[in-house]
Amino acid sequence: MIKKCLFPAAGFGTRFLPATKAVPKEMLPILTKPLLQYAVEEALDAGMSNMAIVTGKGKRAIEDHFDRNLELEAQIQGTQKEVLLKEINAVCNNATFTYVRQKQMLGLGHAILTGEPLIGNEPFAVHLADDLCTSEKDSTLTQMIQVYNKYQCSIVAIEQVPMNQTHKYGVIAGDLIDNTNDTCRVTNMIEKPAPKEAPTNMAIIGRYILTPDIFNILKQTKPGKDGEIQITDALLTQAKQGSLIAYKFKGKRFDCGSIQGYVEATNYFAKQQGII
Ligand code: UTP
């Protein structure tokens, strides 16, 4: 059973400057809800209650958000605004939050390794809050846990992207292992390849289920693309052992780490809620 979800949230979010100068990127809202709250709600929905967050300098707003604010609650008690804190208070009450700070931004792989003391020796999920997913039925993490329960190894969620976008993602190649065409055993993966070097257009998105051996692999992983410790390089070691599955998730993803994706997500949710 997967109980813990790790949220790497230490990055500088430079694409959103100046907004992210003092406000964590993960706290930028889609309508009124911060990206990281969508993320934690997805993990709760998938049955996890232990949220492990990797933070860094300038990220204290995250801890305040996932704590009760009794003064504020007293202020709006008995007014129509009381309902506005209902969802976040339910999140605070139903989950436990642990934090660790990444002292240097050495990459996503390093951020995940920084989370080891919060996770320990058990399989866990990783959620990147700037990839916001919606689905008609099960959430992306719920779907992935079903796949994990079947194969009992690390799982990455993938999406087919236009060939000219491969340089933004980790890209995989693999052998189909089921007849629904949505699961394959990964044989190769490359971090941010140019289109002509990309083995396919199947890109890894910000959802992972990882087995805990990933931590020892990460400890031995040298800096790769852009001088960062890449999770893709560590996952390639698992792939070579035959223990990495890629799953084409059902749903829609917004890349809220980019301005275009952020605007698209805002419009999508505004339409859904009848605001525009
Ligand atoms: P990004 O690659 O989007 O980097 O990280 P970023 O710093 O957040 O944004 P830009 O590119 O400068 O605009 C993907 C996720 O991994 C986390 C980020 O917080 C984000 O959730 N991350 C990345 C870390 O926690 N630590 C790192 O060293 C790098």
CATH of the domain at 77: 3.90.550.10
* Pocket mutation for ligand 1, best pick of 130, 253, 254 (most atoms within 8 Å of C-beta): 130
Please give the pLDDT value at position 179: 79
The token pair that represents 34 in the structure block: 């911060």
Average pLDDT over residues 17-41: 98
Q: What is the mean pLDDT of the chain?
A: 96
Of the residues 26, 128, 205, which should be mutated to test ligand 1's pocket, given the most ligand atoms within 8 Å of the CB? 128
Q: Whose CA is nearest to atom 3 of ligand 1?
A: 257
Q: pTM score > 0.95 for this model?
A: yes
What single letter denotes the amino acid at residue 216?
N
Angle between helix axes 86-94 and 35-45 (nearest 10 degrees) is 50
Yes or no: say if 119 and 218 are a contact pair by the CB < 8 Å rule. Answer: no
CB 248 within 8 A of CB 183: yes
Q: Are 120 and 244 within 8 A, CB to CB?
A: no
**Mean pLDDT, range 79-95, rounded to an integer:** 96
Query: Six-digit token pair at 179?
Result: 């007849």
Which two three-digit tokens encode residue 224? 């790769």
Q: How many structural domains are present in the chain?
A: 1
Domain residues for the domain of 229 are 4-272
On whether the CB atoms of residues 260 and 196 are closer than 8 A, the answer is no
Q: Which residues line ligand 1 (CB under 6 A)?
A: 8-15, 25, 54, 102, 105-108, 110-111, 128-130, 257
| Rounded distance from Cα 9 to ligand 1 centre (Å) | 7
Q: How many CB atoms lie within 10 A of CB 191?
A: 22
Sole residue written with tokens 């044989």: 187
Instruction: Tell me what pLDDT residue 249 has.
Output: 97
Determine the Cα–Cα distance for residues 3 and 183; give it in Å rounded to an integer.
Answer: 23
Mutate to test the pocket of ligand 1, among 21, 25, 26, 132 (most ligand atoms within 8 A of CB): 25
Ligand 1 atom nearest to CA at 12: 7
| Integer Cα distance of 117 and 123 in angstroms | 13
Q: What is the pLDDT averaged over residues 60-80? A: 96
Nearest-CA residue for ligand 1 atom 22 is 11
Q: How far, in Å, from the CA of 55 to the mean position of ligand 1?
A: 11
Q: How far apart are CA 50 and CA 40, in angstroms?
A: 10
Helix (H) or strand (E) segment spanning residue 184: strand 183-191
- Residue pLDDT, tens place only, 96-129: 999 999 999 999 999 999 999 999 999 999 999 9
Instruction: Identify whether the C-beta of residue 276 lies closer than 8 Å to the C-beta of residue 267.
Output: yes
Q: pLDDT tens-digit profile of 175-234?
A: 999 878 799 999 999 999 999 999 999 999 999 999 999 999 999 999 998 999 999 999
